[in-house]
């Protein structure tokens, strides 16, 4: 298992290096830190502009800039320097990540639990009323635009708040502007703000995953080893969970990992609607401020997150299926 | 009742031989082509058939509707925020634009975008996946890692960045199609590659090679046609995916711009309509998005079942 993990870890390094290069090229070609200075009124003199170009390192050749950025990243662990004043990329991004991770991890957890329960039940009771009902609901969620659904839930929550005259749902920000003091009250405050965005994203993600889980469970249920397990006289519970579910979980782990980038996209939209100060806001601001190093840091962090999620999926895969880890 | 004979393995052969007649009872089995079998199976999928009908109605609404409903989607009348009723079945918006005509136009452009993206991304992905799977080895490793790279970045971020870069340029529609294609082709490539990996070991490929067929002929004439089922299913599901993603991108200001319109843009412009007391402006275009995505998803599901010869019905 250890050898397998290390080997898998080493395999993801080339992908990361390649993605740093792609990130650098993308940002270098589309985010120009000079933009705000070129349109300034009164216009800056040519000498001033040139000194700014030197300051931003734009006079150096492209590959040298890439190398400087990469070595800064690897050797010193810095994301470069922001063109915004008083803006420490690492600190700001750290806070934004913490906020977004709450949403993403909460979503994955809830969506996974829902997907496995619904997927397994509908596979075992195929063509039952429950199966037809959840299939219909699943298809509906599969066909909802994230943005539309998020707005809908938010508006409904506001209407419920207004009609009951209470503050039942929090529809703005990731925490109250004046959070209560103390650890537990703060945690409660955060959780309260978490409910609506997580429900939005989790319902949208669970739909596809439960279809997936149902299909793989059906395949497993029809296999010979399940018949053998039953024939051996194992308890139905043991047959279903130890022999059935364990194997049927493998495709789902891969699928969840593959969906990570899409989930982050969904998180950006959901966050924006609920006015969270997370990764979405960080990215949109960095683009608007024409701050290439911040944009690169953001893309890098998300790329690492996606790669790590794939790594976790592969490791889980090996935990679930001994043939893989022993191969 | 000859139609009874179409379950499981037999029908993949396209009709079975007539069994020897016993006594006076004689029955014949009609030979069916692969295509007929798929059509038959699809027709039996009720949700898919119903969805197909609804989808065709939506398409007619979008493309024939404007010929019958003469109000222009850019004509600003003095009736501002009228609720749905006689002269404006879908109501009007803040500029007095008739929502019915706007929804027709929006559905039209959303559908066109979706179909173009679906055709381009699926064909490219399929060819890419087939080549990668066919050659295998290092070619395969490198080609698939490149495809993976496309899935490493959240598409939303790329769209925001490109939007910033090409802001004023009029090519936004083509840019939108390019971004959506970039998002969807790796999925197609992955599925087709997996199929080609097993197909290329089959005897008919060996036979083709023995006859002196070149690589290109094998890929385009022998491998890809055998993945046609998957290609059709993927392209249907891509249409649904594209419609939904277009909405997300519109929300972030990327894609179709006024005076042109799309369903995503309509929903985006009217995102505060519920609070403002004109909920129809938000609900109606949203319902059309859902209608298209939902029916297409059901049709895709029906097609998947129809193309899959190994449908198993099991009970635990």
Please report the DSSP string for A164-192 in residue order.
HTS--S--SSSS-SSPPSSHHHHHHHHHH
Q: Can you tell me the distance from the alpha carbon of A147 to that of A268, in angstroms, rounded to the nearest whole number?
A: 10
Query: Which residue of B lies nearest to A255 if distances are taken between CA atoms?
Result: B187
pLDDT score of B290? 92
Put simply, whether B178 touches A (Cβ < 8 Å) is: no
* Option in B271, B289, B294 nearest A139 (CB): B294
Q: Does B168 touch chain A (CB under 8 A)?
A: no
Residue B14 above 60 pLDDT? Answer: no
* Angstrom distance (rounded) from CA A114 to CA A111: 5
Percent of chain B exceeding pLDDT 90 equals 19
Residue pLDDT, tens place only, A9-29: 888 888 888 888 888 888 888
Contact predicate B153/B182, CB 8 Å: no
pLDDT score of A1 more than 80 = no
B314–A221 C-beta distance less than 8 A:
yes
Contact A151 B282 (CB under 8 A): yes
Residue B98, φ and ψ in degrees, nearest 5: -70, 120
Three-state SS letters, B68-136:
HCCCCCCCCCCCCCCCCCCCCCCCECCCCCEHHHHHHHHHHHHHHHHHHHHHHHHHHHHHHHHHHHHHC
**CB-based burial of residue A101 (10 Å sphere; 0-12 exposed, 13-18 middle, 19+ buried)?**
middle
B25 SS3 class = strand
Among A123, A272, A287, beta carbon nearest to B164? A287
Write down the pLDDT at residue A118.
93
Here the ipTM equals 0.80
- Report whether pLDDT(A103) > 60: yes
> B56 falls in which pLDDT band (50, 70, 90)?
very high
Please name the residue that has the structure tokens 């002929």: B217
Does the distance separating the beta carbons of B248 and A145 come in below 8 Å? yes
pLDDT given for residue B315 in this prediction: 34
- pLDDT tens digits, one per residue of B78-87: 677 677 777 7
- B89: distance to nearest CA of chain A, Å? 22
Say what the pLDDT of residue B19 is: 52
CA distance B175 to chain A (A): 14
Chain A with chain B: Cβ pairs closer than 8 A: 141
CB spacing of B157 vs A283 below 8 angstroms: yes
By Cβ distance, the residue of A18, A219, A222 closest to B149 is A18
Distance between A176 CA and the closest CA of chain B, angstroms: 22
With CB atoms and an 8 Å threshold, state whether A222 touches B164: no
Task: Report the pLDDT averaged over residues A87-92.
Answer: 82
Instruction: Specify the higher pLDDT residue, A84 or B43.
Output: B43
B270-299 average pLDDT score: 86
Omega before A42 within 30 of 0, i.e. cis? yes
What residues in B contact A158, CB-CB < 8 Å?
275
Q: Which residue of A lies nearest to B190 if distances are taken between CA atoms? A: A258
The CA-based diameter of chain B, rounded to the nearest angstrom, is 82
pLDDT classification of B170: cutoffs 50, 70, 90? low
Q: Are B214 and B208 in contact (CB under 8 A)?
A: no
For residue B163, what is the nearest residue in chain A, using CA coordinates?
A: A30
For residue A144, give the chain B residue with the closest CA.
B290
- For A15, the closest of B148, B240, B251 (CB atoms) is B148
Measured CA angle at B173 (ends B170, B179), to 5 deg: 120
At B25 the pLDDT is 60
Instruction: State how far the Cα of A207 lies from the Cα of B110, in Å rounded to an integer.
Output: 24
Q: Give the tens place of pLDDT for each residue, B95-106.
A: 767 778 888 888
Whether the predicted pLDDT of A108 surpasses 90: yes
Predicted local distance difference test score (pLDDT) of residue B63 = 87
Which pLDDT score, from 0 to 100, does residue B26 have?
A: 63
Alpha-carbon gap: A42 to the closest alpha carbon of chain B (Å): 23
pLDDT digits (tens, 9 = 90+) for A59-81: 788 888 888 888 888 887 777 77
A131 or B26: which carries more pLDDT confidence? A131
Q: B240 in contact with A at a CB cutoff of 8 Å? A: yes
pLDDT-based confidence at B11, cuts 50/70/90? very low
Specify the DSSP class assigned to residue A41: S
Give the pLDDT score at B13.
42
Collect all residues of chain A within an 8 Å Cβ-Cβ radius of residue B289. 143, 145, 148
């Amino acid at each position: 298992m250890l050898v397998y993990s290390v080997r898998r870890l080493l395999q993801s390094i080339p992908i990361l290096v390649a993605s740093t290069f792609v990130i650098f090229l993308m940002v270098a070609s589309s985010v120009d830190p000079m933009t705000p200075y070129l349109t300034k009124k009164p216009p800056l003199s040519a000498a001033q502009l040139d000194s700014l170009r030197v300051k931003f390192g734009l006079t150096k050749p492209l590959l040298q800039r890439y190398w400087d950025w990469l070595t800064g990243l690897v050797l010193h662990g810095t994301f470069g320097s922001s063109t915004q004043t008083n803006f420490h990329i690492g600190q700001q991004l750290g806070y934004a990540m913490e906020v977004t991770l709450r949403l993403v991890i909460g979503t994955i957890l809830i969506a996974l639990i829902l997907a496995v329960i619904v997927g397994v039940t509908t596979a075992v009771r195929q063509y039952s009323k429950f199966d037809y009902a959840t299939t219909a609901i699943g298809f509906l969620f599969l066909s909802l635009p994230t943005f539309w659904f998020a707005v809908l839930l938010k508006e409904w929550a506001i209407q419920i708040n207004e009609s009951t005259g209470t503050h039942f749902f929090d529809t703005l920000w990731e925490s109250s502007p004046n959070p209560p003091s103390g650890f537990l009250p703060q945690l409660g405050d955060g959780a309260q703000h978490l409910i609506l965005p997580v429900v939005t994203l989790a319902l949208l993600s669970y739909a596809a995953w439960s279809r997936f889980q149902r299909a793989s469970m059906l395949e497993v249920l029809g296999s010979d080893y399940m018949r053998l397990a039953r024939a051996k006289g194992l308890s139905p519970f043991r047959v279903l969970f130890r022999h059935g579910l364990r194997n049927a979980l493998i495709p789902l782990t891969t699928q969840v990992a593959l969906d990570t980038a899409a989930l982050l996209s969904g998180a950006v939209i959901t966050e924006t609607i609920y006015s969270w100060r997370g990764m979405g806001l960080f990215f949109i601001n960095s683009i608007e401020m024409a701050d290439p190093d911040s944009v690169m840091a953001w893309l890098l962090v998300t790329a690492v997150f996606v790669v790590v999620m794939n790594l976790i999926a592969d490791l889980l895969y090996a935990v679930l299926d001994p043939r893989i880890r022993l191969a | 009742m000859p139609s009874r004979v179409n379950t499981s393995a037999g029908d993949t052969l396209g009709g079975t031989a007539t069994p020897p007649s016993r006594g006076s009872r004689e029955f014949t089995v009609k030979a069916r082509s692969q295509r007929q079998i798929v059509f038959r199976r699809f027709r039996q999928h009720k949700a898919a058939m119903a969805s197909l009908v609804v989808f065709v109605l939506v398409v007619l609404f979008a493309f024939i509707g404007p010929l019958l409903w003469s109000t222009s989607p850019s004509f600003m009348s003095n009736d501002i925020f009228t609720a749905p009723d006689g002269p404006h079945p879908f109501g009007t918006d803040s500029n007095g634009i008739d929502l019915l005509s706007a929804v027709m136009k929006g559905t039209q452009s959303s559908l066109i975008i979706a179909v173009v993206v679906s055709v381009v991304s699926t064909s490219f992905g399929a060819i890419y996946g087939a080549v990668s799977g066919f050659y295998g080895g290092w070619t395969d490793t490198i080609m698939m890692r490149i495809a993976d790279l496309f899935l490493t970045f959240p598409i939303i971020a790329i769209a925001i960045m490109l939007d910033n870069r090409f802001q004023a340029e009029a090519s936004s529609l083509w840019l939108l199609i390019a971004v959506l294609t970039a998002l969807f082709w790796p999925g197609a490539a992955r599925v087709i590659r997996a199929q080609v990996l097993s197909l290329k070991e089959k005897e008919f490929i060996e036979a083709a090679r023995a006859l002196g067929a070149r690589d290109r002929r094998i890929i385009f004439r022998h491998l890809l046609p055998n993945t046609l089922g998957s290609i059709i299913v993927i392209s249907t599901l891509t249409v649904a995916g594209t419609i939904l993603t277009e909405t997300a991108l519109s929300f972030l200001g990327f894609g179709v711009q006024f005076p042109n319109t799309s369903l995503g843009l309509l929903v985006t412009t009217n995102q505060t309509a519920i609070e403002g007391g004109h909920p129809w402006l938000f609900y109606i275009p949203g319902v059309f998005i859902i209608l298209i995505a939902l029916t297409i998803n059901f049709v895709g599901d029906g097609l998947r079942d129809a193309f899959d010869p190994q449908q198993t019905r099991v009970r635990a």
